Amino acid sequence: MTCLTKLYFMRNIPKIVMSGLILCLMMAFTTISRSFKEEHTIISLQAKPVEVITPEVELPEVKIELKGHDAFLEAIGHRESGNRYEIVNSYGYMGRYQFGKTTLKGLGFDVTTDEFINSPYIQEKAMQKLLLHNRKKLRKLIEEYEGKVVHGIYITESGVLAAAHLAGAGNVKRFFKKGYEFKDGYGTRMTSYLTQFSGYRLKLYGI
Q: Is 8 left (phi over 0), alpha (psi -120 to 50) or beta?
A: alpha
Among residues 194, 197, 187, the alpha carbon closest in space to that of 91 is found at 187
CA angle 116, 122, 127 (to 5 degrees): 105
pLDDT (0 to 100) of residue 30: 57
pLDDT (0 to 100) of residue 171: 98
Contact 141, 172 (CB under 8 A): yes
pLDDT (0 to 100) of residue 49: 52
pTM of the model: 0.68
* One pLDDT digit (tens) per residue for the chain, 207 residues: 554 454 454 555 555 556 655 655 566 555 555 554 555 444 444 545 555 454 444 444 444 455 899 999 999 999 999 999 999 999 999 999 999 999 999 999 999 999 999 999 999 999 999 999 999 999 999 999 999 999 999 999 999 999 999 999 999 999 999 999 999 999 999 999 999 999 999 998 764
Distance of CA 49 to the CA centre of its chain: 40
Per DSSP, the residues of 130-177 read: HHHHHHHHHHHHHHHHTTSEETTEE--HHHHHHHHHHH-HHHHHHHHH
Contact 87, 117 (CB under 8 A): yes
Round to whole Å and give the CA distance between 157 and 142: 6
pLDDT (0 to 100) of residue 12: 56
SS3 category, 85? coil
pLDDT (0 to 100) of residue 202: 96
Helix extents (H) in the chain: 3-11, 13-45, 69-81, 101-106, 113-117, 120-145, 157-167, 169-178, 190-196
Round to whole Å and give the CA distance between 183 and 189: 5
Among residues 188, 113, 108, 198, the alpha carbon closest in space to that of 153 is found at 198
pLDDT (0 to 100) of residue 10: 54
Q: Is the dihedral of CA 157, 163, 164, 165 positive or negative?
A: positive
pLDDT (0 to 100) of residue 177: 96
